[in-house]
A and B are shown apart, each in its own frame.
Chain A
């Protein structure tokens, strides 16, 4: 999809506490005229009651505790549109305690905006958030050097921070990094170009977002179709013998007549039909369609009556990933309970859930050196490398090639808590 079409862009913010993320988001929404009269009136009333100026952060910090403490605790999702495109914005917290929420916001983002306070420069949280963006392979990273008004619009300060972050980004393999000097409070270079930064000739934040390429187009990759749910109406009508496999095309294109393999069984067959629903006020039926592409939720019928169930993955016959019961992966550890070797967990990978054992912790990322160091355990917010043995065969790809068949969750079998975000390493076993 080209930028010329009116498309949806998903973005997330990241940065340390008090870097001004909520203020930036409030400013962006306000200056895009995405805030309506009653919301502005509400913020005015609350700001005045507290005896202060209009507080842009109140446009997004919605929880009682957030307003009391002036920090963001959990991701807030905001929706706005310009003439050029629509945006879904995940406003993420910066506190180290809530890094899991930054991972949440960034996992679906096309663009991550990382804020740095111009007075403080690169902090450990900046490195952590850059590492998360690199690890999740977010296509575009924007560095917003905020509070530029508080350093007298000094070009040298901006350049130094941009260079520091650029170095870290290079080490982390972040390909697309763009820096912008902004003041969220005053509005410099957010939507309006600032007269205070004549030395900066790049785009404003909004211009950059309006023109950023979207997610990587995965429709040209090999077909991956994880089966979610089998439809068998067993009614007395034309659908008596209907058997359809529902799912969302994870990558590639599925076309009627395609030769496919159903994993994990490894049975070969072909696509007999692809259905789309026809729903009226009183009736439900399906009509055939010739093909479907990545991102579309469809129903597939197969030529042969073979064993297909939730957890099966229909893949292109000429490019099957095969299956594996052992994985080397990079994980972002999201739990207060540390991960130890021998831990039994649940793994959720596409539509398969299975038991797994952590057989090895290969190392953890040192945020200072960005190198891998030995680690016996992984703790909250650590990024580490592990090996897993799994009780069921998984049709998995490296995350670098397929973010859907390459990602997984680790889940606590006892209480159901999500312990880790996992990304399957490629053959070289690179950390990032």
Chain B
């Protein structure tokens, strides 16, 4: 099923309203920008909110060092073309000087939390836009659009502020900050319908391409510098695309022939498996993996 223009326009207007509220009420907002589709749509909406002026926000990328090269190239070209300011918080620097240690499974999504919180504190960011959507995951379904974090960056789901009408309360004490989720009410399908309607360019890995992959826990992982097949896992070239991007070592591809946004819309509408269920190994770790990470300050 495709959303009508009416629904997309309503979602777009709501998101634009949120960007303008934050620009008006906060001193130092920042947009988390990974080069993934949700952050790309978020930036597109932010640009619409302030046209013909530029986006009044800095971008922040928490770099795991396990990136898809196509995504980093996209990130850098967007920053250059639009004259934006990009801050990068690097997990690898933390590994190099011992502030973080590599996990036994080699994945790094979890390791992003400390560099993120350090960047927020270091730059004194008081509002941090994230592209999280409530349809992604059980704990995210509980998230407010304006989500207060304490000085440790912690989320307390039992003590969230009531969020009434469209009166967003961004008041916070020094040291606290607010996570802002302008795409809260969008679904994966809405995002793709919007990408198609607006003609938004994406990193090429979102569309079908040939890639050497191996199967692990029902997911197709790319063969690359951060992910190698173990004994008994066989490599094969498949036609795949990515539904999410993240740490290459734990982000799975899906078999797909969709080469355009319109074809992806059809594929997503018919999918019998959720975005995260299909592609994120780290969310399968426990019954409440995302909640636990969010409590620690993850986005």
Residues of chain A having any CB pair with chain B under 8 Å: 1, 5-8, 36-39, 42, 46, 60, 62-65, 67, 73-79, 81, 83, 86, 88, 100-101, 103-104, 107-108, 228-229, 231-233, 235, 239, 242, 246-248, 275, 277-279, 281-282, 284-286, 295-297, 299, 310, 334, 346, 348, 351, 403-404, 407-409, 411, 415-418, 421
Whether B81 pairs with A286 at a CB distance below 8 angstroms is no
Of B19-27, B86-94, B223-231, the one with at least 4 CB within 8 A of chain A: B19-27
> Within 8 Å of chain A (Cβ to Cβ): is B103?
no
Total A-B contacts with CB atoms under 8 angstroms apart: 191
Q: How far is the CA of A84 from the CA of B278 in the complex (A)?
A: 27
With a CB–CB cut-off of 8 A, which chain B residues contact A246?
20, 49-50
Of B104-112, B259-267, B268-276, the one with at least 4 CB within 8 A of chain A: B268-276
Q: How far is the CA of A8 from the CA of B7 in the complex (A)?
A: 6
Whether B51 pairs with A78 at a CB distance below 8 angstroms is no
Whether A228 pairs with B162 at a CB distance below 8 angstroms is no
Whether A36 pairs with B273 at a CB distance below 8 angstroms is yes
**Distance to closest chain B CB from A409 (angstroms):** 5
Q: How far is the CA of A75 from the CA of B14 in the complex (A)?
A: 19
Whether B169 pairs with A6 at a CB distance below 8 angstroms is no
Taking CB atoms and an 8 Å cut-off, the chain B residues in 64-103 that contact chain A are 81-82
Q: How far is the CA of A302 from the CA of B289 in the complex (A)?
A: 51
> Within 8 Å of chain A (Cβ to Cβ): is B10?
yes
Whether A63 pairs with B274 at a CB distance below 8 angstroms is no
Interface size on B, residues (CB 8 A): 65
Whether B169 pairs with A36 at a CB distance below 8 angstroms is no
**Distance to closest chain B CB from A129 (angstroms):** 15
**Distance to closest chain B CB from A410 (angstroms):** 10
Whether A79 pairs with B134 at a CB distance below 8 angstroms is yes
Whether B141 pairs with A62 at a CB distance below 8 angstroms is yes
> Within 8 Å of chain A (Cβ to Cβ): is B285?
no
With a CB–CB cut-off of 8 A, which chain A residues contact B17?
228, 248, 297
Among A7, A74, A247, A248, contact of B6 (Cβ-Cβ < 8 Å): A7
Q: How far is the CA of A38 from the CA of B250 in the complex (A)?
A: 17
Whether A310 pairs with B1 at a CB distance below 8 angstroms is no
Q: What 5 A-B pairs are tightest by C-beta distance, nearest first?
A: A62-B138, A416-B171, A38-B277, A277-B51, A233-B53
Whether B167 pairs with A77 at a CB distance below 8 angstroms is no
Q: How far is the CA of A286 from the CA of B49 in the complex (A)?
A: 11
CB 8 Å contact bits of B191-232 with A (1 = contact, 0 = none): 000000010110000000000000000000000000000000
> Within 8 Å of chain A (Cβ to Cβ): is B161?
yes
Whether B135 pairs with A228 at a CB distance below 8 angstroms is no
Whether A409 pairs with B167 at a CB distance below 8 angstroms is yes
